Amino acid sequence: MRELTRTEAIDLVGRYEAEQEIPERMRADVRMLGALLGRVLRESGSPGLYEDVERLRTATIQAYTDETPEAFARAAAIADSFTVARAEEVARAFTAYFHLVNLAEEHQRVRVLRERDGRPDREHATDSVAAAFVRLAAEVGDDTALARLQRMRFHPVFTAHPTEARRRAVSSSIRRLATLLEEHDASLRNGADERRAERRMLEEIDTLWRTAPLRPEKPSPVDEVRAVMAVFDETLFSAVPHVYRRVDDALQGPAAGGRAPIVRPFVRVGSWVGGDRDGNPFVTASVTRKAAKIASEHVLLGLENAASRIGRTLTLDATTTPPSAELMALWHRLRAADEDAANEIAKRSPDEPHRRILLLIARKIAATRERNADLAYGDPEHLLADLRTVQDSLVAAGASRQAYGHLQQLLWQVESYGFHLTELEVRQHSAVHAKVLAELDAGGPRSELTEEVLEVFRTIGFLQERYGPRAAGRYIVSFTRSADDLAAVHRLARYAVGPDGTPPVLDVIPLFETFADLQAAPRILAEIALHPEFAARLEATGRRLEVMLGYSDSSKDVGPVAANLALYEAQAAISAWARENRIELTLFHGRGGALGRGGGPANSAILAQPPHSVDGRFKLTEQGEVIFARYGDPAIAMRHIDQVAAAILLASAPSNEERNRAAAERYAPVAATMDAASRERFFSLVKAPGFAPWFARVTPMEEIGLLALGSRPARRGLSVESLEDLRAIPWVFAWTQARINLAGWFGLGTALEAVGDEVLLQTAYTEWPLFRTLIDNVAMSLAKADDRIARHYLELGDREDLAALVREEMALTRSWVIRVTGGTELLGNKPVLQRAVKMRSPYVDALSLLQLRALRALREAPEGAPVDPEQQRLLLLSVSGVAAGLQNTG
């Protein structure tokens, strides 16, 4: 098949882009950024690079639109024709293009959100907290709805799982480009010199092109802590109180800001970064201390700056706004502690008592950050008391707008973040605890591992003393399989402090991960609730308990369909046990970013939970690229929090709980059929002799471990002879890279075929939220897969039996998903999502073809031959690019 002429190529690309129906302003952004990247490539000093990129781009678009073997073969031939050095440059060019397309998409989302915020009907958005409150109040009454709103809790927990394929340097460049794109928009609106904005973007895109896309070495745990802190500094510190403000504005109307808010802070941020040591030997007690110190420095600096900024604006004269007696008493206490500064501030603000005090409060926050014991606050409660004294004085003087304006937002920030910022959680494997306890009980010399495990408990105690009890104390036990696994934590804590010491306050959280453990969860919980220390802690917290559910290992254990059904049943059973025992349960969802690890839209997943399993509280892990996608931009972060909080509020509405209960009951036979059929099909693949090494051969699983993605090792041992040794993240990541996405769908086609009744399944899709969420997530997973490219990966394994099994199940699943959703193609009922996937697919194909040639060269090398470093580097570059294109890793 001949190559297209330049005119034909331009016409093909133009028609393809037009078919995607991209919003006009986003299309303009993509074209402008793409043109600037093209200019950078032409100026790169590599002759013919731009032309080679365009050849491959045109060929993959033609192959994607024509769907003929000849067109695909021509695209593959072009990818294979490049020298390794040129293939690297082309891979980097496509990766840079994806970063720019992702930026344009995010910019369009922000643009739409801001336009929506400017409309008078903004608060009536159907998936906002304000709208959810109105719907809930219609069912349970205003008072009950308000009580539920004020008790609501959303608790995202940031983790350092190695799923962010971008370097921080690349992310920083993209954030600078986002600012420049904003400025470009402003130049178009204001008639300013847009050429200046474009020149600056060209400079930044050139920087992006020249920045090495791969990290030279793995980040340390402390590096990972600092990466998460960037999200806090740039978005979360200000975004969270703005969400509270928006909700309060919507619910109180014109009175908002002039009287006390009815919204209470409902966001708490947790972190495993620097605390999760399960399988990560680099996370030590020393690292945990450093992580807490860094987080505290960031939040205290943010609070100090906010207090100082607000203080400078409170230029309210004592005549118009007289101070209360309590405020004057506070002034005298603050002046006595910081006399010189107080006198200097009094000179600058002689008749502005509220301003003087807030500026002194800012100094006390700074002293807290600097560990100045003479001036520092002992805990956040004392700071809150001082701020409320200022607020009460303003209200008494008639200055309600000042009392409930920026000062209220500062109060919300202190209530949300304290002096610790993130509630640092520790996680360790139950097997480690058992090994250490056996050694301690034997009474011999203590190993390095034992000393390290005990030091963790001493560190938790230190953090609680220094930063407050909320700073640390949650202790997650991975692979909890018995009540003894949980009791072991309390025994270790007592060993750590000795017979005369006081153990730290611990909330021990079981993590149920495998299919068997999920089924055993209620029995294990019933046993541990009788344990003296566990029972005492339950009573001390008002019978509050957290239970964590693992989505990753359960999916790898029995397949995505059976795992989803098992997780639902486990939640229902645990919730029923908690209600019977008067326990206020919070289920902690260990969800990944990828669909094979429980990913997908959080709000729809929340609304599909079993009755009484949410009850106004939702906690989940936010991992890797998901952190930056959901919280990297202030507007998107606020929208995400608003949507999730709305779902949390509505999940416990009587109508929603009844819908989920009735659907689970009605479709229980369907669920049972799907569970058995999908598990049998999944086991026929993963339990086949030689499956694990075959999987390692047909995907870049081994090579993914070479990427400097995170501090945590990719697998538990050196062998890939068994899936048990492989962590869930590379399991999902590798299938994603091979454009198969098997971890997200395998077994569903067989499950639906076993049910067989198309009308029944279409009805279930309408009536059964859990089923609808599963089908929608699989549709997305399959839409990002590509059976033509998948076929070439599967051919690397010399196991036609296993390859045929995957291909057949893929085709069967695609066919059934399309029929169940009532369309003619995947995502036909979600056109916006479908366009986003189609817009990227041919460009991802280009990178996949480059990856395939590198993987094939590595796999076909003679046994014992040294690894070709050039092919290996090309492979790793393509992995990074495909991750950017699919916006998924693990």
Residue 598, pLDDT score? 46
Strand, helix or coil for residue 858: helix
Q: Which of 711, 604, 600 is nearest to 650 (CA)?
A: 604
Strand, helix or coil for residue 127: coil
How far apart are the C-alpha atoms of 608 and 3, rounded to whole Å? 50
Q: Report pTM.
A: 0.91
Sequence letter at residue 383: L
The number of angstroms, rounded, from the C-alpha of 386 to the middle of its chain's C-alpha atoms is 35
- Sorted by sequence, the CB contacts under 8 Å of residue 498 that are 6+ apart come out as none
Residue 594, pLDDT score? 46
437 within 8 A of 485, measured Cβ to Cβ: no
How far apart are the C-alpha atoms of 285 and 293, rounded to whole Å? 13
Residues of the chain with pLDDT below 70 are: 1-21, 117-125, 161-167, 190-192, 592-600, 708-728, 888-890
CA atoms within 13 A on the CB side of 576: 11
Residue 772, pLDDT score? 96
How many CB atoms lie under 10 A from the CB of residue 683? Answer: 14
Distance in Å from the first CA to the final CA of the chain: 37
555 within 8 A of 728, measured Cβ to Cβ: yes
DSSP 2: P
How far apart are the C-alpha atoms of 169 and 156, rounded to whole Å? 25
Q: Annotated active-site positions, please? A: 161, 556
Report in angstroms the alpha-carbon separations of 502 from 32, 185, 463, 496: 63, 59, 14, 9
How far apart are the C-alpha atoms of 780 and 771, rounded to whole Å? 14
Q: Which of 615, 645, 646 is nearest to 127 (CA)?
A: 646
How far apart are the C-alpha atoms of 639 and 113, rounded to whole Å? 8
How far apart are the C-alpha atoms of 615 and 702, rounded to whole Å? 43
Q: Which of 66, 61, 3, 95 is nearest to 841 (CA)?
A: 61
Strand partners, 623: 159
Residue 476, pLDDT score? 98
Residue 632, pLDDT score? 87
How many CB atoms lie under 10 A from the CB of residue 143? Answer: 9
Q: Which of 283, 175, 166 is nearest to 215 (CA)?
A: 166
How far apart are the C-alpha atoms of 450 and 220, rounded to whole Å? 23
Strand partners, 340: none
The number of angstroms, rounded, from the C-alpha of 820 to the middle of its chain's C-alpha atoms is 29
pLDDT tens column, 110-135: 988 888 765 544 444 678 999 999 99
Sequence letter at residue 558: V
Kindly state the tokens that stand for 397.
């003087």
pLDDT tens column, 55-114: 999 999 999 988 789 999 999 999 999 999 999 999 999 999 999 998 998 999 898 888
352 within 8 A of 317, measured Cβ to Cβ: yes
Residue 596, pLDDT score? 41
The number of angstroms, rounded, from the C-alpha of 719 to the middle of its chain's C-alpha atoms is 29
